[in-house]
Structures are given as structure tokens and as C-alpha cells.
Structure 1
């Protein structure tokens, strides 16, 4: 089935270039030129990936992300000329799954779009999967069939990356993972010292599942090495 991508980019020339490239790769592309238009398109179409510029009229990229995450965990790749670490942290902190800085090559963009959709679809239920599988750790339960997380009786909304990180930890309790290992397992890509990406995702995950994120009881920091789930 043809995968559907929502492209939110107000620069019409860049929008057209990306659209043509992705359509040549057999993707169906929905285009929006501002955040409000993007929300309407998203509410009326089932999309497999969102490519999101941050500097948008009417409703900017950050505000779009915040509204999107109240209703969906659809994967989001931020594309923006604002390439500083601070802006990356903000974008990822608000629920983006990946980040690519302008200027970028169409070859790189296409490869990362392929990878993002492949990662997302690996977690879709199929007829061949086990009807119900649930992982448990203390007060956390993670359902691999419905892709829901329950913490102390509360359903927690996670992004696709946060869900995958938590699943990795819960399937390997007490094992210490380096940041490089986490990146390679979750992003399935080479690690180029992208510590900020890992730090932001761990922080956001802790904010959602920990009673006191500053004193985590579930995801522990192993100083100088990485992170683990367990005492």
C-alpha cells in the first residue's frame, strides 16, 4: 500500500522539490503551507509520517507538535534551518522523532524518510503477531499489541521513539545500554555522537513515567556509561 506523508513547509520552492522527490519514490504526499492547514489535513487523513518545518505562519512548528501530541503519536521528522542544539532539543522535547537541518540533500532526506517509515511500521500489528503480549516492570506494563503503556493504573501517551526505548529497557531489565547502543537499536542508524537526541528522549520519557523525574526510580543513569531499567 502506498505510504502517505504530510509535508508541512511554507517555502513553496522547497515544498515542491520535496514533494516531487517523494512522489518519485512512490509516496503519496499531502502538502500544507502553515500549521493550521496541517492540523486540518492530519485530522482528515491517515498519514504514515509528518515532515515538519518549524518556522511556519499562523501556527508554528512547535505549537503544531504540541497539538499533534494531544491526539496522535504519529512519527514526525523536523526539517528546519534552525539547526542549533537548543532548537533540536526543543523540537525533540515536544515529541519529534528525528531532525534534519537545512540545507540537506534529497538523497539524505529520502533515506531518512525510508528509515523512519520502516521503523514505524515495524510496530504495527499484523495477523501473524501474537494476539497479546505484555511486558511488566514494577508498576509499569507495556502492551505490545495495543501499544499502550500503563503506569500505576494510568494510561501514558508516548511517542513512537519513547515507546521503543521503554520496550528496549523492559525487554532487557537491569542491562546497561550506552547512548550509542540506544541510538543504534532505536534509530537503526550510525551514531555520530548524537547525545542530545538520547538525552532529550530519556528526559521526556522520565517526565511521563516517573513520579519524580529528577529522582528516577525506573530508568536509572549509570554515570559515564549510559542508562538501564532496574535497581
Structure 2
């Protein structure tokens, strides 16, 4: 069965551009012309990945992202916008999106971003075999690689597909100072090209979920001039 992608954009020609290229790459596409329609289709179609334009009639892409993340925490979300300012990227990431793409973009970039996110969402058997375990345990934390559930003190914590992969790589590299570029490569893949703010925002989101005091983190330390370390 093909992976299902929901495209939400109020401009028909942009939706068709994305649909044609993604269908050619083997994905099953669902279309929505508004945020309201996207939320209705989310409950019916249960797509693995959502591609959401920010500027929509009615509710915005940001609001759709927040709702999807609340109701389907393990889904993948890519925000799309003509805006390239850092604040717009950060707003999308803070609301729970996994990736951000700027218009205009070429088809290959879109396909690579979607494939990378689908891999994180599906978490294939090949990836599980690399660590040769179904469950990773580190102190009070547990990652179930089969169900993709994450626990602290045996209490499940909702994490996005991107956050899950970041945590997995941290635990597998416990004590190692990992650079932002290293985290980006391990999480988004070799072909991903963006600034490293996407790493910082995801770390901030993870800290908010697992730290007693995110301002004074115990588990994800900042290594100044380098990146982060799982301690």
C-alpha cells in the first residue's frame, strides 16, 4: 500500500504541481483547498504526512498544524510558504511541524523532503535492525522502536516523528557531543539543506516535554560552540 500524503493549498495549480510529482514517485495523494477541509479529511483518510500551506482561507496552516499535531502526534507535517523569514519558520516548528519548505521549490526538493519524513513516520524494519533492539532503555527513559512510543518513568510522552528520531540518536550516542550538522544529517538525511535553527527548535520542544526545568536541562545539555549532548 502506498504512503498517503495530504496536500492542503488553496491554489489549484500548486496542489496539482505537488500532486503530479508525488504521485509519480509512488505516493497516494489526498487534496484539500482549505484548512477546514484538511481537518475533515484527516479524520477520514488518516494520511501519514501532511503538506500544509501557511496562508489559507479561513483557519491558517499554523492552526491546522496545531490541530493535527494534537490529534495525530505521530503524523509527519511539512509547512509550505512563500515567506522565508526565520520567524515564519520558527512559528511553524514551534507549532509542531517536522519540516519547512519555501516557495518556489523544485520537484526533487519536495520529493526528497517527503521521502525523508515518510521514513521517520514509518520507522522501517531496516532501521530497527540497525540498532538490533526493539526497545532502547536509558535510565528513566524508554523508546519502543516497534510502536514508536516514548516513555519517561513509564509514562508515555507524545513526540513527533522527528523528535523520536532525534531522541533515538541521542540515546545511541549517550555522552557524545553532537554538532547541529551531525544531528541534522542523522535526522533529516544527507540531502537536507537548511539552516540549523530547525535543530535548535526541535531540541527546545523535546526539552519542554522531558525536562523538569527546560531552562536548566538535565538530560539534553548544550555544548557551547558545538551542539548538544544526551547526558
TM-score between both structures, scaled by the size of structure 1: 0.91
Indicate the SS of the match to 2:71.
coil
CA RMSD of aligned residues (A): 2.4
Change (3 A) 1:36 1:193: closer
1: CA distance, partners of 2:128 / 2:222: 38
Which stretches in structure 1 are left out of the alignment for 5+ residues? none
Change (3 A) 1:192 1:118: closer
Structure 1 partner of 2:183: 182
Q: Does 1:37 align with 2:52?
A: no
2: CA distance, partners of 1:207 / 1:127: 27
Structure 2 partner of 1:100: 101
Change (3 A) 1:118 1:144: closer
Structure 1 partner of 2:84: 83
Task: Please tell me whether the aligned partners of residues 81 and 101 of structure 1 are also in contact (alpha carbons under 8 angstroms).
Answer: yes
Change (3 A) 1:104 1:129: closer
1:18 to partner: Cα distance: 1.6
2: CA distance, partners of 1:23 / 1:166: 32
Indicate the SS of the match to 2:70.
coil
1: CA distance, partners of 2:124 / 2:159: 13
Q: How does 1:66-145 map to 2 (within 5 A)?
A: 66-72=66-72, 73-123=74-124, 133-145=134-146
Structure 2 partner of 1:219: 220
Task: Please tell me whether the aligned partners of residues 141 and 151 of structure 2 are also in contact (alpha carbons under 8 angstroms).
Answer: yes
Query: Would you say how many aligned residue pairs link Structure 1 and Structure 2?
Result: 230
2: CA distance, partners of 1:157 / 1:139: 16
Change (3 A) 1:115 1:128: closer
Structure 2 partner of 1:65: 65
2: CA distance, partners of 1:153 / 1:213: 20
Indicate the SS of the match to 1:216.
coil
Deviations 1:120-154 (CA, angstroms, capped at 9, x unpaired): 33347999899973222232222222211112343
